[in-house]
Structure 1
Amino acid sequence: MPFPSANGKTAFIAGLTLSIPVTLISILKASGVSHHGVDSPRILAFFVIYFLLTLAVFVVDVRSFAPKPLKTRIPLVYFPTNREGFHFLVSVLGRILVWLAGVIVGGGLLAPLWYVLRNP
């Protein structure tokens, strides 16, 4: 099975799917509905692994770890030497910024829920 290609849409969705459960668990613990929070070791380990996997697959892209546009004449050294290499780095940085926007939007969508549960 081939890896999916990363783009802005997958990066945004990866940010949403990370921040919404983390925010929801934090809100439920802060309001007293749940006893387990993100500070629980098992839940924290799950979200750290989820963060690393989604970042590698849906944001940075697995094919970006040794990209052809950044290849130099020195073996195992990757650096932008032309316009194609700079374009590649800017596109990866753009996907990271879109992922960050997804994280912010996911947390912002649940802010009214936090307010309602804290102030009945």
Structure 2
Amino acid sequence: MKSNFLSLLGVLCVAAVGALVADAFTTLALFVVLTPLTLLVTGYLGLNMAMLSDGYPKSKVSFAAIYTAMFGPTLGTLAINIGAMFLAHAMTGPTFWVPLAAAAANALFTVGITSLAGVAVEAFR
């Protein structure tokens, strides 16, 4: 009876360790795939935000908004992903959702900063 209990305990320990390793691998793989992808997308969008300067705005607020729209999404994405990596490292339990949440936060940040910059450029042109 004792050997059956120990073997069951051994199987459960191996399953628990396997689940932790699988979660760590999934988290790492998602960071490896999503971080460069989001940086490429936000960099491309930042380059397209240079078109906000068409018509040569004369206001300093417009210039600041244009530069914010060009460089803000990429720098914000980098900061969000680094913060998410530190968060995933410090967490206990499942962490596979952290890179997915970081990608969603990147999307929201990029849409927000470029929208505000576009409104500021048009308002203060």
* Same fold? TM cut 0.5: no
TMscore range, shorter length: 0.3 to 0.5
- Max radius of gyration: which structure? 2
Instruction: Report the TM-score when normalising by structure 1.
Output: 0.33
User: Could you say which structure has the greater relative contact order, defined with CA pairs below 8 angstroms and 6 or more residues apart?
Assistant: 1
More helix by share: 2
TM-score by length of 2: 0.32
